Structure 1
C-alpha cells in the first residue's frame, strides 16, 4: 500500500465515522468559509495516522506490529480527546461515541500501517 492510498483510506474513515456514529456533533458553521471543521479534522487525523509507518522507518526504528499499533492508538484517542477541548467543528458528547470512534479509526489506521509493514517485511526477505 502506498502512502497516498493510506492517506485517502484514513481520511475517509475519520470523515465517515464522524458522520455515522451517534453522539458526534458536527458544527457546519466553521470560521473557514466553505470548508467544514469536520473536513479539516478528518484530513489532519488521516494525515497523522498515515505518517506512522514512514516516520518509524525514517528514524531507523525497527518496525513492529506493537509500535505501529501503539502509535496509531495514541494518535486516534488523543485526537478525539483534543476535539472536546479545541473548537475544531466536532464535539463528541458521549463516552460510548468517543470509544467507538477512536477504536474504529485506530483499527483502520493500524490496518493500513500493517499493510505497509507487511510489504517492508516481504522486501526484507527478498534481499
Structure 2
C-alpha cells in the first residue's frame, strides 16, 4: 500500500468515527491492517467494535495491542482500560475489575479506570 492511500484510509476511518459510523470505520481499519499490524489502528478498531457492542472482537484487538506495546505506553494503558469496558459490556465484572486494576497499577491517578472500578464494587 502506498503511503498516500494508507493515510486516506485512516482519515476516512476517523471521519466515520466522528460521524458515529463505527461499522464503516472498522472496514477502513481492516483495509489498513491488511498491510501490517499497527497498535494505534488495532486500538481504534477495538474502540469502534466496543461502540458496536462487538465486545469479544474488541477484546481480541485490545489483547493484541497489549502484546505489542510497552507496559507504560499510553496505548497499552488505554487498551487495558477499554478491555475493561468490553468486559462490562459482557457483564463480566471480575474481568473488568482486573483490567481496571492493571491500569491503576501503572497509573494510580487514571480517573476513568478508578471510576469504572468503583462503579463495579
When normalised by structure 1's length, the TM-score is: 0.28
Please tell me whether Structure 1 or Structure 2 has the larger radius of gyration of its CA atoms. Answer: 1
Considering fraction of residues, name the structure with more strand: 1
The higher-RCO structure (CA 8 Å, 6+ apart) is 1
TM-score scaled by length of structure 2: 0.29
Higher relative helix content: 2
